[in-house]
Structure formats: C-alpha cells, structure tokens
Amino acid sequence: MAKQETTIAELDIFFSTAKLPSELQLYPGTKIVDLPTFVESHLAVLKHSGSHGIYEVFYTRLIRLREMMTAKS
C-alpha cells in the first residue's frame, strides 16, 4: 500500500475549488467522460470507507487526477 501524504479532506478541498474539465484520459484506455460525477463518487466512497485495502484505488485515481490537473496549470 502506498504511503498517503494527502488526506481525504485535502482532496475534498482541492476538488471543490478546482475547475474540472468535462472529460479526461486518466490512463491509457481509461477515459473519464463525466469528471464531476467521477470526483463526487470517489470522494463519497473515501469519506465512507477510508482509503485502505480495496478502497485504495479510489484514492489513487483522485491523486492521479489532481497531479494531471496541477501539471497542466
């Protein structure tokens, strides 16, 4: 399991203030076509279940998205 440096609350704050594109290629072969819903659903899972074990993938995807968005800035 990856070491978490960013809290779920920090991700929530970032995405609540970020201007999200409508869609984005997250990984090769993984295109998100409704980014606002993607972020909302992933944050809901993390807030309810945490980011450990089988839920770590939700955290990882949001971290990847944040990195992509900040790299374009």
pLDDT at 1 (0 to 100):
42
C-alpha torsion 23→27→31→36, nearest 10: -40
Range of the domain at 39: 8-72
pLDDT at 5 (0 to 100):
77
Q: How many domains does the chain have?
A: 1
Q: What is the rounded CA–CA span in Å between residue 32 and residue 22? A: 8
Identify whether 30 is part of a domain: yes
Identify whether 55 is part of a domain: yes
Q: What is the rounded CA–CA span in Å between residue 34 and residue 23? A: 6
> Contact at 8 Å (CB) between 15 and 62?
yes
- What does pTM read for this prediction? 0.88
Identify whether 3 is part of a domain: no
Identify whether 58 is part of a domain: yes
Identify whether 50 is part of a domain: yes
Q: What is the rounded CA–CA span in Å between residue 51 and residue 73? A: 27
* pLDDT in 10s for each residue of the chain, 73 residues: 445 678 999 999 999 999 999 899 999 999 999 999 999 999 999 999 988 899 999 999 999 999 999 986 6
